[in-house]
Structure 1
Amino acid sequence: MEVNALRIYKQISLLLFTFSLAISPDIAFGSAYVGSKACAQCHESEYAAYSQHSKKAYSWKAVTKMASDLKPKELQECYACHTTGYGQGGFVSIEQTPHLADVGCETCHGPGKEHSETGDPTHISRQITIKACEACHNSERVGSFNFKPLVHSGAH
């Protein structure tokens, strides 16, 4: 009897796990990321400047250009620097979380769900430091890279 109960428990657990993979991560895990278009609802001018002048706003294009030459594992290595929130409850795949493709507002300012729901500025990072940029803009990731940021250059 105990063996049957254990077997049934394992089968149910496997089914639930499989089902959870099929659900959008935003729903299944309550993603704290909302995407840049959600930010644009209140921060129109910042979003417009970002969209018009920042390469970050279109960083996913580089991934799509390289995709056919890369193996899936190699392609995933691009996600950390070319999407928003990858590996942190944000971007999962272009099919499941297309609103988080590209380097969006939340890459620098942090997950925006609470801020977008309440408007409370304490729920978002407002003082951005160079440390946030160095996660991707460093010589280990990009050979011969000499990153010299200008204050708000190409951002907003």
Structure 2
Amino acid sequence: MRRAAVLLAVAVCLVPLLAVSNALSAGYTGSKACAECHQKEFESYSKSAKKAHSFQSIQIMASKLSPAELQECYACHTTGYGQPGGFISVEKTPQLANAGCEVCHGPGEAHAQSGDKSLIKSKLSVEQCQACHNEQRVKSFGFKPMLYGGAH
């Protein structure tokens, strides 16, 4: 009887942890889902950010690139490529075919469903931008991160 009570207590304590774990592992939803609550930011991003149309660069270059080179492009020019729930192809995941909000802020499905601000990255640093925007990748682009570039 005592053992059953201990197991029940442990189970009750683990349920909230499993819920948080599932929420954090949720997938990508696409930038249009962000627009429902963040209209001003979405409009500014859509108009001002080159990332909002980044897949066009891949389409322009695709015929000159090998499949392996294309995959390298997907890492920065799409949302969540190579991650669970991320970009697969234009046919299967068209909502992730550009570098959207979730590239910087992380997978947003759990945040969009719950509204819980702790389930999304809200404060970003230049160091985080440098995962894609670094001298090796964008030497000729004159990189200016979005947090200073006026798209938010």
Q: TM-score range by the shorter chain?
A: 0.7 to 0.9
Equivalent position SS for 1:67? helix
Q: Does 1:70 align with 2:65?
A: yes
1:18-76 CA distance string (max 9 Å, x none):
xxxxxxxxxxxx86100000111111111011101111100000000000111111111
Q: How far is the alpha carbon of 1:149 from its aligned partner?
A: 3.3
Equivalent position SS for 2:147? coil
* Aligned residue number for residue 56 of structure 1: 51
Instruction: Considering fraction of residues, name the structure with more helix.
Output: 2
Check 1:113–1:128 CA distance in 2 against 1; reply closer, same or farther (3 A cut).
same
Of the three residues 27, 30, 39, the one matched with 1:35 is: 30
1:138-153 matches, within 5 Å, as 138-143=134-139, 147-149=143-145, 151-153=147-149
Q: How far is the alpha carbon of 1:145 from its aligned partner?
A: 5.8
Contact 2:30 2:101 in 1 (8 A): yes
Equivalent position SS for 1:147? coil
Q: TM-score, normalised by structure 2?
A: 0.77
| Letter paired with 2:80 | G
Structure 1 unaligned blocks of 5 or more: 1-29
For 1:40 and 1:74, the matched residues in 2 are separated by: 32
Q: How far is the alpha carbon of 1:91 from its aligned partner?
A: 0.7
CA-based RMSD of the aligned residues comes to 1.8
Q: How far is the alpha carbon of 1:142 from its aligned partner?
A: 3.1
Structure 2 unaligned blocks of 5 or more: 1-24
Contact 2:28 2:108 in 1 (8 A): yes
Contact 1:138 1:145 in 2 (8 A): no
For 1:50 and 1:69, the matched residues in 2 are separated by: 29
| Letter paired with 2:81 | Y
Equivalent position SS for 1:39? helix
* Aligned residue number for residue 125 of structure 1: 121
Contact 1:137 1:145 in 2 (8 A): no
State percent identity of aligned pairs.
Answer: 56
Q: TM-score, normalised by structure 1?
A: 0.75
